[in-house]
Structures are given as structure tokens and as C-alpha cells.
Amino acid sequence: MIIHLNFLPKPGETGAGDVLAALFALLDQGRLDAELLPHLRLHLDWIQYKANFREPVTVRHAADARGERMALAELAVDLRRAPRDGLIDGLGRALASVGAIERETSGRVVVEDWVPLGESSIWQFNRLFWQRLADWERQSGRGFEAALPSGRSDANDPAAVADAVGDFWTLLVELDKRGQLPAEIFALEIGVGSGTRAGLWLDRFKAIDEARATGFYPRLRFLLADYSLPTLDRAMSAVEAHRDVVSMIATDALNPLRALSFLRYKILYVHLTNVYDNLPVDELVRRDGQLYLVETRAYLPGPAAQAIASSHGVGPTELRPTIARLLETGPDLFGDRERGVAFWRAVWDGLCLEERLRRLEGTADVPLPPGLHGDDLDELLETAPADIRFHISRGAVESFVNTVPLLHPRGYLQVQDIFVATMDEYRQGFRGPGKLDGSVVNWVNGALLQAVGARTGYDVHFAPFRYRAGSRTSILYTTLRE
């Protein structure tokens, strides 16, 4: 059995020794078939997200192109939530399913069929959250930013905003001196959140412009872009003092070019914060030189399914179609919005993802997003660890390639997010998906974006977010290739 230790436990935490001791106990009890061990891989994780889509102990089976079970299986343990005193029974139940045709469901309710992670229903839940944010926040009693791991968004750090404005103002001065500054100065923010950052940015920009008498502010055309109209309305309220220079536009972050094609090559500054980590993503796994696509299906564990059915008056057999109606029509499905939101929140809280590894013949079989080529993936895999699980950040790639054509020849893209800058970093801990209060979060494959940037004529760089101690945020920025 091969053991993947994906973190180093601290004193007092459940560790690899505890799991191995539990496995030996299962061998002694005759509950672990020694013939399974050569085909079994043990993955020990410490999932930093308090809420996520995994049970503490789970099994991932491998399947061929037809979905038929293969010998390879992975036993995954989240040591943050797996208690020492329950390890033997938890591992025993999981291992009992390794040789079974179908895992014992224990009353769980499967809500979708097997699909690649990027097509999972969790992304429908994610979109519903942003579209009906006010309903969720009203019932939860707190804003979405309060649910972030740090309790606030790095987007709104005043020092970070001030530096971003300073960099942009410097560019404008340089262009102005050369006689290259356009009459209208376009700036774009995609994924506006509460509008707080936009307000801080505009306040700072106006103050600098007035203090230095450069006359840039009246020429500014600042665009707020988001696919959620309620979010845009909220953001516009936050920038009321700058209404004369601000416009809002309904835009899908996956394809800003569709709505903004009239601004191709005109925008000098595009900014996003925590947008890429909220876009659909696929995952690939390489084991013993063989590539696998991670497929998932969402389900409610037995206890959660029973509790939801009982408290919301939905029969167990009706849970799956009721959840489908929720995702299609929103929380008014019961004719009572508050009841619908409560049902939605309960389902999201209990939702888990079962995973399996579907074998691919090679990189030619990988579902690649527009802008990413098979040659790029081959080059990344050449420099990656032999055994690796990593993201194909399809949403981020699609957004990137549909954003950079909007940039002025001297313009730049700036993205604050959680990036994996090198493929080797995927060996150093869990990278998602995590479950926030209603939405999804994933680390973004920055190495992949560097390859995509090179093809589109841009160098992609990463700088640490130095404004908050312990922040996992990085800042991606582009420079035009010479």
C-alpha cells in the first residue's frame, strides 16, 4: 500500500501513526483483506475548510472509460475531522466497500449521476447563491463576506487598494507624457461583491487626481460587471458618490468579451478578486503514469437526508426531484420563500461529493477549456511530480482568454485570488473544493494560466499579498510580451 501524507500534523492531532494502527487492527480482526493492499493508496489530508464536500473517511474507486470498476482504489482520510476513537470503525466501513459492486448507501440520497467535477450540481448551487444572495443573507443573518475564513475579504484592504490605485495612476501619467492617453480612461471590475472595494478605489483615485491636478478623474469610465443584477444594484449604492463616472453592466465572468466587445483593446485596467476561485473546475489525477479524470456525484448522507426530509416535509424519495426543482426555479418552489431558503440552506449544509477516477488514454482525452492546448498540458505534466492530483481551472482559463482581448496595448489584468503557482505545490496540501456559506471555493492553477497567457501574448506573474499576515491570497498581474 502506498501512503500519501499530504500535510504534517501538529502535536496532539490525529496523524499517520493513528491511521496505520487502525489498519493493523482491522487486519488482526480479519476486516481487511490483505490482497487489497497492493491496489490501495492511502491519502492523509488535513482539509483547512471547516465545511467541505467530503466525509471524514471515504473511498475513491478507479473506473475505465465505460465506467467499469478497476482494481485501483484510494482511501482518503481527513485527519482534521476523523477522531482517533472512531478510526477503526470508520476505516472498516470504508474498506468494506472496496471490493463491493456498489457501496452500501446507509440511506443516503444521490442527487445526480456521475459527471466531471466541473459539471457537478455544486456549480448550480453556487450560481443560485449569487443570484439570490439577499434571500440567503436575510435568513443567515450575516453578509457573505463575514463567512469567509478570515471573516473579511482581502479585496477591501485599504493599503492594497491604495497601492493598486498608485500603480494605475503611474501608468496614466506615463501615457499622458507620451501623448498616448486615450480621451476616455476605461477601468473594469468583474465580480463586484458588496461594492466596497470599488468605492475605496474610486475615493483614492479621485483624491490623488485632485491633489496632483492631473485631470484624470473626469475622464474615467469605471465599469462594474457582474452576472447578478441584485449584486450590481448593491454595488452601485456603495459608489453613489461616483455615479457620474461609474456604469454597471450585466456580464458573465466566463466571457466578459461577449457583453463588452465594443471596448476591445480599450480597457487600461481590469481587476477581479476571488472570482477565479469561484468558477467551475475539473481535476486530473496521475497514478503510476496513468491519467484519470475525477468524476463526482453529489449526495446527502443518510442522517442528513433523513433530517431534511423530516423537518421540511419532503419524502425521502422526493428529495432528489425537489432539489432539482430548487436549482431550476429557486427557493420559491414551495410557494413559501422562507421555507424554500431554509430547505436550500439545509441541503447545502449536508451536501457531499462522492468521487471516482475515470481512466483516460492520454492528454488527448482530457476535456480542455478554450485557450488551453494539449501541448500546454503535456509540458506541465513533464515538470510535475510523478503522482499528482491537480486542477484544470477551466472557468479561470475561459475567463482569462475572454478578458485579455479587452485590454488596451498598455493595459493590464490584476487578479487577487488563491493560486497554486507551481505544479509541485499540489503535493503540499488540500486545494479544494471547499464549501463556503452557500458558495464554492477552489484554488486556481496558476501554472496553467501562465501557459495560457504565453499563448495569448502575455506573461503572467504572481506576487504575495503582503497586506495581511497569514493571507493565502496572491496577486496575479499580466505584462504584454515583447
What would the pLDDT profile of 329-379 be if each residue is shown by its tens digit? 999 999 999 999 999 999 999 999 999 999 999 999 999 998 899 999 999
In this prediction, residue 30 carries a pLDDT of 84
Of residues 124, 98, 106, the one with CA closest to residue 39: 98
By residue count, the chain amounts to 482
Query: What is the DSSP pairing of strand 290-300 with strand 115-116?
Result: antiparallel
Residue entry with cell 473626469: 218
Write the CA distances from 207 to 200, 204, 328, integer angstroms. Answer: 11, 5, 46
Which cell numbers in the block locate residue 236?
452601485
Label residue 12 exposed, middle or buried (CB < 10 Å: 0-12, 13-18, 19+).
exposed
Q: In this predicted model, which residue has the larger pLDDT, 49 or 139? A: 139
- At 381, list the grid cell: 505534466
Cell numbers 480599450: residue: 266
Q: How far is it, in rounded angstroms, from Cα 118 to Cα 95?
A: 28
pLDDT at 386 over 70: yes
229-238 pLDDT, tens digit each: 888 999 999 9
Contact by Cβ (8 Å): 331, 344? yes
Q: How confident is the model at residue 324 (pLDDT cuts 50, 70, 90)?
A: very high
**What does DSSP say about strands 109-110 and 290-300: parallel, antiparallel, or unpaired?**
antiparallel
Beta strands 407-417 and 388-392 are unpaired
Residue 17 CB: number of other CB atoms within 10 A?
9
pLDDT attached to residue 3: 83
Percent of the chain at pLDDT exceeding 90:
71
Which range has highest mean pLDDT (6-10, 21-25, 462-466)?
Answer: 462-466
Closest CA to 344 of 363, 315, 368, 324: 324
Domain boundaries, the chain: 1-104, 154-280+365-480
Residues 463, 466, 470, 475, Cα dihedral to 10° = -30
Q: How many CB atoms lie within 10 A of CB 132?
A: 21
Q: Specify the CATH architecture of the domain 154-280+365-480.
A: 3-Layer(aba) Sandwich (3.40)
Please say if the pLDDT value at position 470 is more than 70. yes
In this prediction, residue 12 has a pLDDT band, given cuts at 50, 70 and 90, of low
**For 240, which DSSP code?**
G
Can you name the residues that pair with 458 across neighbouring β-strands?
A: 480
In contact, 120 and 299? CB cutoff 8 Å = no
What pLDDT does 243 receive?
96
Residues linked to residue 17 through DSSP beta bridges, in sequence order: none
Q: Is 154 exposed, middle or buried (0-12, 13-18, 19+ CB in 10 A)?
A: buried
Q: Mean pLDDT score of the chain, rounded to an integer?
A: 91
The pLDDT score that the predictor gives to residue 105 is 61
Rg (CA), the chain: 24
In the chain, DSSP finds a helix count (H) and a strand count (E) of 14, 21
Question: Are 460 and 401 a contacting pair, CB within 8 Å?
Answer: no
Query: Quick one: pLDDT at residue 345?
Result: 97
Note the pTM of the prediction, 2 decimals: 0.92
CA distance between the termini of the chain: 50
C-alpha cell at 301: 448522507
DSSP 52-77: BS--SEEEEEEE-TT--EEEEEEEEE
